[in-house]
A and B are shown apart, each in its own frame.
Chain A
Amino acid sequence: MASALRAAVLRYIRVPVAQTLALNGSKLSLFNTVRSMSAHGDDHLDKEEVIERVLDVVKCFPKVDPSKVTPDVHFQKDLGLDSLDNVEIVMALEEEFKLEIPDKEADKIDSCHLAIEYIYSHPMAG
């Protein structure tokens, strides 16, 4: 039934070939002017956005007083957190920016400033 219908419909449909080709061609060229070479494009995060999102993550941490959080704050010295909290914040940042920070790097991140620098320079941060 369905195949009979399809055959019946297909018999009467005519697609003007030249027109569609031209259409496709113009679309493609339009695309190419907008898009860069890579499929990801140049979607690197800008610094303000990184700073804002990092600070948001730190402020949302339950033990942190949000008013104390600045871009230069040190997690353990200034916010009174311990080393486990530090790791927890780094994991929260991983989740926020969809990264996987290697353990050695993660150990070094102990302040907002370092976290911002690391994430800003990371090519896969999104």
Chain B
Amino acid sequence: MSFTLRSVKVPPNSVSLQEARSRTFDFFRSACRSIPSVMEIYNLHDVATPSQLRSTIASEIRKNAHITNPKVIDMLLFKAMEELNNIVEHAKQRHHIIGQYVIGRGGLVQDLGTKDQGISNFLKNFYDSNYF
């Protein structure tokens, strides 16, 4: 599927917010449909379930739910499609997928100790994750 997607040219901008919205759902569907092959490629069966990955994709989309400019949404969709293509074409390695989408923003090590209560947000984010 990814190879057919690659040959498609960049579509014209969405005319309305409604169109951008439906394109977002289309993207979400195609991402969900590629989950089984992604799990196969990156051997994710023992670290994640399809429904977890689906929820992760949905939360990534929901992060940008406040955006109302159709051009910005189109740009984000383009980047999302690019990311999806890269993942489906095996342009990444297993730890990229796990770090980004399975463990996600929870961070590799859940350090709930008191020792770094006062540290800056920058440092907290630094310890938390590479991906944001």
Contact B29 A103 (CB under 8 A): yes
Contact B28 A87 (CB under 8 A): yes
Contact B50 A84 (CB under 8 A): no
Q: Which of B55-63, B84-92, B114-122, B123-131 contacts A (4 or more CB under 8 A)?
A: B55-63
Given the contacts A88-B54, A88-B58, A92-B54, A100 and B33 also touching, CB distance less than 8 Å: yes
Please indicate the chain B residues that have their CB under 8 angstroms from the CB of A92 in the complex.
51, 54
Q: Does B19 contact A (CB under 8 A)?
A: no
Q: How far is the CB of B60 from chain A (nearest CB, A)?
A: 11
The SS class assigned to the A binding surface is helix
Given the contacts A62-B55, A92-B51, A103-B26, A84 and B62 also touching, CB distance less than 8 Å: yes
Q: How far is the CB of B105 from chain A (nearest CB, A)?
A: 16
Contact A87 B25 (CB under 8 A): yes
Q: Does B32 contact A (CB under 8 A)?
A: yes
Q: Does A95 contact B (CB under 8 A)?
A: yes
Q: How far is the CB of A105 from chain B (nearest CB, A)?
A: 12
Q: Does A110 contact B (CB under 8 A)?
A: no
Q: Does A106 contact B (CB under 8 A)?
A: yes
Q: Does A83 contact B (CB under 8 A)?
A: yes
B residues 13-70 touching A (CB-CB < 8 Å): 25-26, 28-29, 32-33, 36, 50-51, 54-55, 58, 61-62, 65
Q: Which 4 pairs between the two chains have the least Cβ-Cβ distance? A: A91-B32, A88-B58, A87-B25, A84-B58
A: residues with CB less than 8 A from B are 60-62, 83-85, 87-88, 91-92, 94-95, 100, 103, 106-107
B: residues with CB less than 8 A from A are 25-26, 28-29, 32-33, 36, 50-51, 54-55, 58, 61-62, 65
- Could you show 18 A-B contacts with beta carbons less than 8 Å apart? A60-B51, A62-B55, A83-B25, A84-B28, A84-B61, A84-B62, A85-B58, A87-B29, A88-B32, A91-B32, A91-B33, A91-B54, A92-B51, A94-B32, A95-B36, A100-B33, A103-B25, A103-B29
